[in-house]
Structure 1
Amino acid sequence: MLNYFNNIVIYRETHINLYNKKPIFKAESSPSFHGDGIDYYVYQLKRADIDSIMSNNKNNCKWNRLPIDKEIYSIVNKQLTYDIELVNSLKNSSYSPIPNVKNGYYLFVNKKSNEKDYYFNFKLYILDVENFLLYLIKYDS
């Protein structure tokens, strides 16, 4: 479960309060150096949460309508499929590495290095507005 500090960061990025919410699914790669790895969380939200996000989105336009941009999809897919342990965890569940959400939004938050096509930390949030689900894919290198 995410700690208090991470919840504050997530709220600043997304305007979603996950403080008292537990993931309905989580898969975490084994941490390596200083906690590096990939975390994959799925949260069940309420209609009020979705309405609040959409209201904030109209004011600041952070969230993008799905489908995910091809470059972003490629970046996330590359990192997810590189971690065999995480891939196996997802295969044994009903979740796919990058969920195929038809009606929703995404938000990609990243820190990009000076090297071309190298992302060393990113988060991909996917909001499924029909099923009230939030997917959080966090990559830390």
Structure 2
Amino acid sequence: MKRILWHVIFCLGGILVFSPVVMYWFIHGSYERYIWIINGSFPFNNFGSGPVQLYLYAGLLSAGLILTTISFKHVNKYLKYAVLFIILLMIFIMSVSCYSPKSVNTQISKSLKIEIPAASIIEYEDSHGGFHGDGGTYAKIKLDGKGAEKSILEIKNSWRMLPLSENLNLIMYGGIKNNIEYSYNLADKFKIPHIENGYWLFVDRHSKSIDNYDDTDLFNRHSFNFTLALYDMDENILYYIEFDT
């Protein structure tokens, strides 16, 4: 009975030693989950903090090392090898799964052709679904620090300065054109403030688009498939929208 107890303690220690890897994967494995976690209730809203994560990982690791150390002499070598093998295997699997070419940062970087620094997305939502993939994607990205300098420079060099074109202004804020009222109001839908000082980029992804950066035919089709990004110079915030109908 005592031998079984030592085996249980050793296995529990192995789980605790491995748990920081699981926690890191759970928090940072995907940006969608990361945003969901840090926008949750206490204590999950603190998981985005570096010091909190450090204390959590250190506590779990310390507890695991203590349990495995005191029980190490009382378990057979086969169990030791088995636990070590499982830990190494799971670390490898989770390390591979954390590297995803379809991460939010990668998708946005590829779409806008600028580099989005890691951990800079502070809000994210994606309602795309169904057979046709209709819906909207929204991201709010804080561009500050050294990692963002290159991105901001690329924006200033290749994007257009505000204000928006007439069509984009209509779809973002609504209005009337040629006696037709447009009430899409995407700015209100995604809670994007009116930006006066900044830059914008429009990408027409519609199958009938001739010029991907021209919004002239935006309202001349039966559906929308476009990407729009707005950079607020005063707040250093980038707003990203994908809209598909």
Structure 2 length-normalised TM: 0.42
> Partner letter of residue 36 of structure 1?
D
In 2: Cα distance, 1:109 partner to 1:137 partner: 10
The 1:30–1:108 alpha-carbon spacing in structure 2 relative to 1, beyond 3 Å, is closer
Question: Which structure is larger by alpha-carbon Rg, 1 or 2?
Answer: 2
The 1:38–1:135 alpha-carbon spacing in structure 2 relative to 1, beyond 3 Å, is same
2:242 equivalent to 1:131: no
Q: What 5-or-longer segments of structure 1 have no aligned partner?
A: none
- Quote the sequence identity (%): 26
Deviation at 1:37, TM superposition (A): 0.2
In 1: Cα distance, 2:154 partner to 2:128 partner: 35
The 1:138–1:77 alpha-carbon spacing in structure 2 relative to 1, beyond 3 Å, is farther
Q: What 5-or-longer segments of structure 2 have no aligned partner?
A: 1-30, 33-99, 175-181, 210-216
Q: Which residue of 2 aligns with 1:112?
A: 206
In 1: Cα distance, 2:236 partner to 2:185 partner: 29
Q: Which residue of 2 aligns with 1:16?
A: 115
Q: Is the 8 A contact 2:116 2:148 kept in 1?
A: no
For residues 1-141 of structure 1, the aligned pairs below 5 Å read 1=31, 4-5=101-102, 7-12=105-110, 13-18=112-117, 20-21=118-119, 23-29=121-127, 31-48=129-146, 51-57=149-155, 61-76=157-172, 81=184, 87=189, 90=190, 95-96=191-192, 99-114=193-208, 116=217, 117-118=220-221, 120-141=224-245
3-state secondary structure, aligned to 1:43: strand
In 1: Cα distance, 2:185 partner to 2:154 partner: 35
Deviation at 1:42, TM superposition (A): 0.8
Q: Is the 8 A contact 1:27 1:39 kept in 2?
A: yes
The 1:70–1:57 alpha-carbon spacing in structure 2 relative to 1, beyond 3 Å, is same
Structure with the higher strand share, 1 or 2: 1
Deviation at 1:47, TM superposition (A): 4.6
Deviation at 1:71, TM superposition (A): 1.5
3-state secondary structure, aligned to 2:170: helix
> Partner letter of residue 237 of structure 2?
L
Higher relative contact order (CA 8 A, sep 6+): 1
Structure 1 length-normalised TM: 0.66
In 1: Cα distance, 2:154 partner to 2:125 partner: 29
In 1: Cα distance, 2:208 partner to 2:128 partner: 27
Q: Is the 8 A contact 2:172 2:185 kept in 1?
A: no
3-state secondary structure, aligned to 2:158: coil
1:66-115 Cα distance to aligned partner (Å, 9 max, x none): 111111222455798388xx83xx5xxxx24xx31121100011123549
The 1:63–1:30 alpha-carbon spacing in structure 2 relative to 1, beyond 3 Å, is closer
The 1:80–1:46 alpha-carbon spacing in structure 2 relative to 1, beyond 3 Å, is farther
